[in-house]
Amino acid sequence: MEKLKVLFASSEVVPFAKTGGLADVAGSLPIALEELGLDVRVIMPKYASVKVAGKEATMGTGVKVYFIEHDDYFNRKELYGDKFGDYQDNLDRFVFFCKEALERCKKENFRPDIIQCNDWQTALIPVYLNTFYKYDPFFAKTKVLFTIHNMAYQGLFDKEQFPKMGLDWSLFTINYFEFYGKVNLMKAGLIYSDAISTVSPTYANEILTKEFGCGLEGVLKTRQDVLSGILNGIDYGVWNPAVDKKIFKKYSVENIEDKYLNKEMLQKESNFKIDRDIPTIGIISRLADQKGLDLLAKIIDDLLNMKVQFILLGTGDNKYHVLFEKMAKRHPKNTSINLKFDAVLAQKIYAGCDIFLMPSRYEPCGLGQMISFKYGTVPVVRQTGGLKDSVEEFDLKTRKGSGFTFETYKPEYFFNAVKKALQVYNHKEAWEALVKKIMKLDFSWKASAADYVKLYDNILKK
């Protein structure tokens, strides 16, 4: 039986280029699919960060990665923009990428059964398949799955740029590209794809509402019959304290004592009092309203007046930089504010903290809570998107659950969830049992990859 052929199109892929979670998915899901017996190829732009000679590389044991080259478009330090904002020629860049992705299939004589497109940068692939390549026998049997990683980023451009795509003006209507007078690439991708997925079951329901649909909830409702949500996994070859070389000392559920050595070393490095009994609370986040930082800002002084230590790592909106710098001056003994990107410190926070905060306003999937589980760091999250699908409220009496949650997006509800975590923390035996339990949870790609294979099969049957 011939292998199912999948082309995975993404604008960023670990380990070649990354700005966010999409790159992690693109760097690990194709490998998991290959392990299930599929013939998977990945295609991405060749940015300056891609340190590979030639036009392709390999991931895992045999996943070919094709690079689309164009020095003027892609040989730049950043992927989508610089400190002045998005690159002015982003439409030109990703028009080129989408056209070349299809041409590359022909050059490699790779006829995909499924092209899995990811976010707006790849949204023109299904459009071009249904226009320029509509009668091309090479793609006669090819179907497209469009995966939404974040509805907030849709690829919006001025109407005047529409001709750059080479399409007929008749497609600039409310039924295709037009969105409040602008060109919307994601909208067209959703309309032209054979099926749509997103990165958690709860987010698949949320994006049908006005609150989370970002203006495209109406379009998604018309395609509700082909919309599904599959929770992302994480790569335990990377996110695993038993193999992590960046943390102070490796550990696993069998030698949990070494987690607390990591805690003491993190306390020392952060100039905190070295004391295992003081709960250490961590957050690693883009500093933006989406991540619930406005809630954190309202409770942080009350929290820091308690017997806790708080460590933050992240960069983002200037207002949060100012706010947390001021807060560090008010509470110098028990805060460590790190306004930067630091991959090593991130691992140390996962390993050395007791509690991990994710109070997100919305979170399509979220990887932080899954990583914190593996490192034995208990998450406190808002019940939204993938956070709701992966973190179950802990009950001290029954010992069921895996973390602490709140639903209403208000600071007092968030603070109550943190206080509940701190109360359970004082029940040492219950806390240690919870830590061991969450370390054994399995959020690897294996189950999610199997769900994608089922989805591919369903798409091909239609």
Strand ranges (DSSP E) for 195-287?
195-198, 227-229, 280-284
The whole-chain average pLDDT of the chain stands at 96
Spans of all domains in the chain = 5-233+445-461, 253-439
Instruction: Return d(Cα 279, Cα 263) in angstroms, integer.
Output: 10
Give me the pLDDT at residue 77, please: 86
Instruction: Give pLDDT tens digits for 160-191.
Output: 999 999 999 999 999 999 999 999 999 999 99
Q: 5-233+445-461: which CATH topology?
A: Rossmann fold (3.40.50)
- The pLDDT of residue 366 is 92
What's the topology of domain 253-439? Rossmann fold (3.40.50)
Q: Are strands 378-382 and 404-406 parallel, antiparallel or unpaired?
A: parallel
SS3 30: helix
Residue 272 near residue 332 (C-beta atoms within 8 A): no
Q: What is the pLDDT of residue 320?
A: 92
What phi-psi label fits residue 435: left (phi over 0), alpha (psi between -120 and 50 degrees) or beta?
alpha
Q: What is the pTM of this model?
A: 0.93
Distance CA 342, CA 13 (A): 19
> How confident is the model at residue 288, as a pLDDT?
86
Q: How far apart, in whole angstroms, are the C-alpha atoms of residue 389 and residue 384?
A: 8
Between the alpha carbon of residue 426 and those of residues 68, 253, 457, the distances in Å are 55, 20, 49
Give average pLDDT by consecutive 10-residue segment, the chain, 462 residues.
93 92 94 96 96 92 96 93 90 98 98 98 98 97 97 96 97 96 98 98 97 97 97 92 96 95 97 97 92 94 96 92 92 94 94 98 94 98 97 97 98 98 96 97 94 97 87
